[in-house]
Chain A
Amino acid sequence: MKKIMILLFVSLFSFSVNSNAKSITLGWAAWDPANALQELTKEFTAETGIEVNFEFVPWPNFADRMLNELNNKGKTFDLLIGDSQWIGAGAVYGHYVKLNDFFDKEGISMSDFSPATVYAYSTWPKGSENYYALPAMGDALAWAYRKDWFDRPELKSEFKKKHGYDLGVPANWNQLYDMCTFFQGREIDGQKRYGAAINTERGSEGITMGVTAAMYAWGMEYENPNKPYDMEGYFNSPQAVEAVEFYRKLYEDCAPPGHSDAYMVANLDAYKSGQVAFQMNWYAFWPGVSKEDSDGRVSGFFANPKQNVAAATLGGQGISVVKYSDKQDLALEYIKWFARPDVQQKWWDLGGYSCHNDVLNSPSFPTSTVYAQGFLDSMGIVKDFWQEPTFVELMLPMQEAIHDYVVNGKGTAKEALDKIIEEWVEVFEADGKL
């Protein structure tokens, strides 16, 4: 009996040691693509025997949780799919492993990935050839609309009569506004409907991601291209001011009641419950939206409309190896597997957004889903918020000032943008950039 107990204990102990040695933990946000990745990763475990544990954090707490973990040099995560804006902090503060040598050794070429995604998700300093992540999840802010309502003959003719052009995918923000106001307060199938569910969230990054979709389309630049961090006249240019004013008008005239602190989930809810004709959201959600079309709902999707220029707010993330991990070799093995073109194709098929050229340039890609062409269009025109190590310090004043103007109705758009520049100057000064 004693011998059996010892045998049992030894085998249990060796199993636990073995499973600890052959497992890694991956951290990401809790959303649809994370479930797809979990599904995809089963193949990695089957091939390599390495177990992958996942920790998915809800979006509102995602940045707080992950950045605190990195700042504390935590060992919870071996792999992290972090937001594009974190790359600066990841590189400068040494949170992420530099991947150049690994890429060279394993023959992983960044030219195999879409240039916009490599620039946004992998490099620091921007545009350099220092890689701290592999592009994992391409994403941009886009729009979904109720195609079934748009196709109704009576609504089409009424709209054409009123505005002189067809009800359909808006060619610019003015048309988007016309369409939103057309649906605002309209009764369809016995229910009151509204124009658009747009980003207004204040706590993390919501309203900034939303308003920049308009600002980029109006041609806003963050800084003087010839003089870094010189923002006066660029970030608060007349075009930028006009865009912010427009966004407020869109909120006031087209948002459903109570949509004053809304981001991804609230926009999805407003759309799924049939309240709105349009929703602004990330491509990451379109597979779910498309799959859930039922009871006559047909969804259409389109890239961010242009105004003065074609542009879209960048989302998406790269996958990085955490410097403080004790299992960097296993984590790198995962990245090597994930970079394979066949895995990237499966990633897209499961609902993830691959950034690999083999997937994106495939002739069947644009017609593979109803939102694939929009995704391609968007990834060619994306622009991102500051990716500086101090991006959180830069994001918060913008959140507050824009929310104060758009939702709270305080002051003018110019005052809001001036206030943001004032705060940003302070941040850059403290960081030694100015």
Chain B
Amino acid sequence: MSVKKKFKGLSDKAVSWLFIGPTVLLLLAINIYPLVYAIKMSFTNFYANKIGREPQFVGLKNYIKVLNKEAIWEKMQVTASFMFWTLLLQAIIGLGLALLLNRKFKGNELLTTLIVLPMMLSPAVVGVFWTYLYNPQVGLFNYVVNFFYDLGSFDMIGSSTLAPWAIVIVDTWMWTPFTMLICLAGLRSVPNYLYEAAEVDRASKWQQFIYITLPSVLPFLLLALLFRGIENFKMFDMVVELTSGGPGSATELASINLKREAFEKWKTGYSSAFAVILFVTIFGFGNVYVKVMNKIKER
């Protein structure tokens, strides 16, 4: 009764602020403040492990250093390649699986559950057990490949040519179900009368797919790829467990390099600049992507 009285005089706006206030405060504390602090640090020569050494303002030096460093561009290339192949494969296989599971057949639910299982696992656990699967002596992966085509012993993780594919395969195995689920939701939202009308117009199955299914499911697919793109840009745990970024630096993604610079080499100022650059990159790409996606939706 007293609570009721207390809130009786509050306006709708005040009540809404009361509800969102804690969330805003939390966001400010754990997202905005660290971001602003990182931006500030990026203009200094701060080393977090050098106790008692006052950070000095160095202007844009850290940004210039990051952008001029050949190794950074190599990591960005590795990241771009990882993103390209994982997104491409997850789009194709995810859509394919969604089309398959959109049909009614016996065991549909069981198959859907089984397909979705990998994405419920912890990425670190996935990384560890795939190192065993890829083991050239006792791993199941080599056995299966050799069962179909005799390639002999090959080391997926130890070879600089194969290691980038090793991480692409694992990420695709783990996250294709996510793309599939989103696409499946899209497919199930397509009204049946469109297909019935197409049948009346004697459209072939291929034409139905191109002119009805694909345009309907495309916004969903693009949304799934946006989520996966952002996630894979900052991919860390699975790759660290699987390859540690090796052999050499063949699978060292930008996020792994950033962690090493920030928390192993303790170059706080430099790594803050690197983090800001990565943030701006993904934020920029994300915005452009969302605009494109909205345009596709409007069509």
Chain A interface (Cβ within 8 Å of chain B)?
A: 64, 67-68, 71, 89, 93-94, 201-203, 256-261, 275, 392-393, 396, 400, 403-405, 407-410, 430
Contact = CB atoms under 8 A, between A and B. Distances in A.
A108 to B, nearest CB: 28
A409 B247 CA distance: 9
A303 to B, nearest CB: 29
Given A393-B265, A403-B246, A261 B158 contact: yes
A392 B264 contact: yes
B246 A260 contact: yes
A275 B135 CA distance: 14
Interface of B: 45, 47-51, 134-137, 139, 153, 155, 157-160, 240, 243-250, 252, 260, 263-267
23 contacts: A64-B263, A71-B51, A71-B266, A93-B51, A202-B247, A203-B245, A258-B139, A260-B246, A261-B158, A275-B137, A392-B264, A393-B266, A393-B267, A396-B260, A403-B246, A404-B247, A404-B249, A405-B248, A407-B247, A408-B246, A408-B247, A408-B249, A410-B160
A430 B45 CA distance: 9
A268 to B, nearest CB: 16
A408 B74 CA distance: 15
Contacts of B246: 202, 260-261, 403, 407-408
Given A202-B244, A396-B264, A257 B137 contact: yes
A258 B49 contact: no
Contacts of B153: 257
A396 B256 CA distance: 13
Given A260-B159, A392-B264, 8 more contacts: A68-B263, A257-B136, A259-B158, A260-B246, A261-B243, A393-B265, A407-B246, A408-B247
A203 B248 contact: no
A359 to B, nearest CB: 36
Contacts of B240: 203
A422 to B, nearest CB: 11
B157 A403 contact: no
Contact of A404 (B139, B248, B264): B248
A403 B137 CA distance: 22
B51 A94 contact: yes
Leading 7 A-B pairs by shortest Cβ distance: A260-B158, A404-B248, A408-B248, A257-B136, A203-B244, A408-B247, A407-B247
Contact of B265 (A203, A261, A392, A405): A392
Given A261-B244, A396-B265, A256 B45 contact: no
Contact of B49 (A67, A259, A403): A67
Contacts, number: 85
A323 to B, nearest CB: 11
Nearest to B138: A258
A21 B249 CA distance: 49
A400 B248 contact: yes
Given A93-B49, A93-B50, A396-B260, A258 B155 contact: yes
B157 A261 contact: yes
A252 to B, nearest CB: 11
A71 B158 contact: no
A202 B245 contact: yes
Contacts of A89: 49
A257 B135 CA distance: 8
Contacts of B134: 258
Contacts of B264: 64, 392-393, 396
A425 to B, nearest CB: 14
Contacts of A201: 244
Given A261-B244, A393-B266, A430-B47, A400 B160 contact: no
Contact of A258 (B45, B137, B265): B137
A408 B250 contact: yes
Contacts of A256: 137
Contacts of A392: 264-266
Nearest to B134: A258
Contacts of A67: 49
Nearest to B51: A93
Contacts of A68: 263
B141 to A, nearest CB: 11
A89 B265 CA distance: 13
A396 B267 CA distance: 13
A392 B267 CA distance: 11
Nearest to A427: B265
Contacts of A257: 136-137, 153, 155
Given A93-B49, A257-B136, A403 B158 contact: no
Contacts of B247: 202, 260-261, 403-404, 407-408
A171 B54 CA distance: 53
A261 B252 CA distance: 14
Contacts of B252: 400
A117 B227 CA distance: 54
Nearest to A401: B248
A396 B160 CA distance: 19
Nearest to A94: B51
Contact of A400 (B47, B139, B249, B266): B249
A345 to B, nearest CB: 38
Nearest to A70: B49
A90 to B, nearest CB: 12
Contacts of A64: 263-264
A256 B240 CA distance: 22
Contacts of B51: 71, 93-94
A271 to B, nearest CB: 14
Determine which residue in A64, A260, A430 has the highest number of CB atoms from chain B within 10 A of its CB, and name it.
Answer: A260
A68 B48 CA distance: 10
B135 A258 contact: yes
A299 B181 CA distance: 55
Contacts of A258: 134-137, 139, 155, 157-158
B77 to A, nearest CB: 14
Contacts of A408: 160, 246-250
